[in-house]
Amino acid sequence: MELSKSEEQLMHYLWKLKKAFMKDLLQEFPDPKPATTTVATLIKRMRDKGFVDYKLYGNSREYFPLVQKADYFSRHMNGFIKSFFDNSASQFASFFTAEADLTNEQLEQLKGMIDERIEKNKK
Protein backbone atom coordinates (compact mmCIF):
# COMPACT_ATOMS: atom_id res chain seq x y z
CA MET A 1 0.00 0.00 0.00
CA GLU A 2 1.26 3.46 -0.85
CA LEU A 3 0.91 6.89 0.65
CA SER A 4 -0.55 9.89 -1.14
CA LYS A 5 1.74 12.92 -1.59
CA SER A 6 0.13 14.65 1.40
CA GLU A 7 0.45 11.54 3.55
CA GLU A 8 4.06 11.10 2.46
CA GLN A 9 4.88 14.69 3.45
CA LEU A 10 3.37 14.10 6.88
CA MET A 11 5.22 10.80 7.17
CA HIS A 12 8.52 12.58 6.51
CA TYR A 13 7.78 14.90 9.44
CA LEU A 14 6.98 11.92 11.65
CA TRP A 15 10.16 10.09 10.62
CA LYS A 16 12.12 13.23 11.45
CA LEU A 17 10.48 13.68 14.86
CA LYS A 18 10.27 9.91 15.62
CA LYS A 19 7.18 10.53 17.76
CA ALA A 20 4.97 13.57 17.94
CA PHE A 21 1.77 15.07 19.20
CA MET A 22 -0.55 16.89 16.78
CA LYS A 23 0.89 20.30 17.73
CA ASP A 24 4.42 19.06 16.95
CA LEU A 25 3.36 17.85 13.52
CA LEU A 26 1.54 21.10 12.73
CA GLN A 27 4.68 23.07 13.59
CA GLU A 28 6.61 21.19 10.89
CA PHE A 29 4.36 22.39 8.08
CA PRO A 30 5.30 25.59 6.27
CA ASP A 31 2.88 28.52 6.33
CA PRO A 32 0.03 28.53 5.63
CA LYS A 33 -0.38 25.55 7.95
CA PRO A 34 -3.14 23.03 7.26
CA ALA A 35 -6.11 22.76 9.58
CA THR A 36 -5.80 20.35 12.49
CA THR A 37 -8.76 18.39 11.09
CA THR A 38 -6.93 17.96 7.76
CA VAL A 39 -3.85 16.53 9.49
CA ALA A 40 -6.05 14.34 11.70
CA THR A 41 -7.74 12.93 8.58
CA LEU A 42 -4.36 12.20 6.98
CA ILE A 43 -3.16 10.46 10.13
CA LYS A 44 -6.32 8.36 10.32
CA ARG A 45 -5.83 7.21 6.70
CA MET A 46 -2.16 6.47 7.40
CA ARG A 47 -3.14 4.50 10.49
CA ASP A 48 -5.71 2.53 8.49
CA LYS A 49 -2.95 1.71 5.97
CA GLY A 50 -0.64 0.49 8.77
CA PHE A 51 1.96 3.26 8.57
CA VAL A 52 1.25 5.07 11.85
CA ASP A 53 -0.06 4.32 15.30
CA TYR A 54 -0.38 6.28 18.53
CA LYS A 55 -0.13 6.07 22.27
CA LEU A 56 -2.91 7.71 24.26
CA TYR A 57 -2.05 10.10 27.12
CA GLY A 58 -5.36 11.30 28.56
CA ASN A 59 -6.99 13.09 25.62
CA SER A 60 -3.74 13.51 23.69
CA ARG A 61 -2.32 11.13 21.13
CA GLU A 62 1.40 10.70 20.56
CA TYR A 63 1.91 9.43 17.02
CA PHE A 64 4.79 7.27 15.86
CA PRO A 65 5.71 5.56 12.59
CA LEU A 66 5.23 1.82 12.18
CA VAL A 67 7.21 1.75 8.92
CA GLN A 68 10.83 2.84 8.83
CA LYS A 69 11.90 5.38 6.23
CA ALA A 70 14.50 3.03 4.71
CA ASP A 71 11.91 0.25 4.33
CA TYR A 72 9.41 2.59 2.66
CA PHE A 73 12.06 3.99 0.33
CA SER A 74 13.33 0.53 -0.57
CA ARG A 75 9.84 -0.73 -1.40
CA HIS A 76 9.15 2.45 -3.38
CA MET A 77 12.40 2.16 -5.36
CA ASN A 78 11.88 -1.53 -6.08
CA GLY A 79 8.44 -0.74 -7.47
CA PHE A 80 9.89 2.10 -9.53
CA ILE A 81 12.62 -0.13 -10.98
CA LYS A 82 10.09 -2.86 -11.72
CA SER A 83 7.68 -0.45 -13.44
CA PHE A 84 10.10 1.67 -15.44
CA PHE A 85 13.18 -0.52 -15.97
CA ASP A 86 11.74 -4.02 -16.53
CA ASN A 87 12.83 -5.00 -13.01
CA SER A 88 16.47 -4.48 -14.02
CA ALA A 89 18.66 -2.67 -11.49
CA SER A 90 21.44 -2.48 -14.08
CA GLN A 91 19.14 -0.67 -16.55
CA PHE A 92 18.23 1.75 -13.77
CA ALA A 93 21.90 2.29 -12.86
CA SER A 94 22.78 2.87 -16.49
CA PHE A 95 20.01 5.43 -16.89
CA PHE A 96 20.84 7.10 -13.58
CA THR A 97 24.55 7.49 -14.27
CA ALA A 98 23.93 8.76 -17.81
CA GLU A 99 21.12 11.21 -16.98
CA ALA A 100 21.97 12.48 -13.49
CA ASP A 101 24.96 14.60 -14.63
CA LEU A 102 27.17 13.23 -11.85
CA THR A 103 30.64 14.56 -11.18
CA ASN A 104 33.67 12.27 -11.34
CA GLU A 105 33.83 12.40 -7.55
CA GLN A 106 30.22 11.23 -7.25
CA LEU A 107 30.82 8.46 -9.78
CA GLU A 108 33.90 7.35 -7.81
CA GLN A 109 31.80 7.25 -4.63
CA LEU A 110 29.20 5.08 -6.38
CA LYS A 111 31.95 2.83 -7.73
CA GLY A 112 33.34 2.48 -4.21
CA MET A 113 29.93 1.49 -2.86
CA ILE A 114 29.50 -1.08 -5.60
CA ASP A 115 32.99 -2.49 -5.01
CA GLU A 116 32.26 -2.80 -1.27
CA ARG A 117 29.00 -4.61 -2.00
CA ILE A 118 30.73 -7.01 -4.40
CA GLU A 119 33.31 -7.86 -1.71
CA LYS A 120 30.58 -8.34 0.87
CA ASN A 121 28.66 -10.69 -1.45
CA LYS A 122 31.80 -12.79 -2.02
CA LYS A 123 32.05 -13.60 1.69
| pLDDT surpasses 90 at 110 | no
Mean predicted confidence (pLDDT) in 90-95: 83
Q: In 3D, which of 20, 11, 9, 5 has the Cα closest to residue 51? A: 11
pLDDT of residue 84: 83
Average pLDDT, the chain: 91
pTM summary value: 0.73
pLDDT of residue 12: 96
CA 100 to chain centroid: 21
| Interatomic CA distance for residues 41 and 52, integer angstroms | 12
pLDDT tens-digit map of 1-26: 789 999 999 999 999 999 999 999 99
Q: How many CB atoms lie within 10 A of CB 14?
A: 22
Q: At what angle do helices 69-84 and 5-17 cross, to 10 degrees?
A: 150
| Interatomic CA distance for residues 47 and 99, integer angstroms | 37
pLDDT of residue 99: 81
CA trace torsion 73, 76, 77, 80 (10° rounding)? -160
Alpha helices in 52-122 (DSSP H): 69-84, 89-99, 104-122
pLDDT tens-digit map of 33-58: 999 999 999 999 999 999 999 999 99
H helix or E strand, kind and range, residue 26: helix 22-28
- What's the topology of domain 5-65? Arc Repressor Mutant, subunit A (1.10.10)
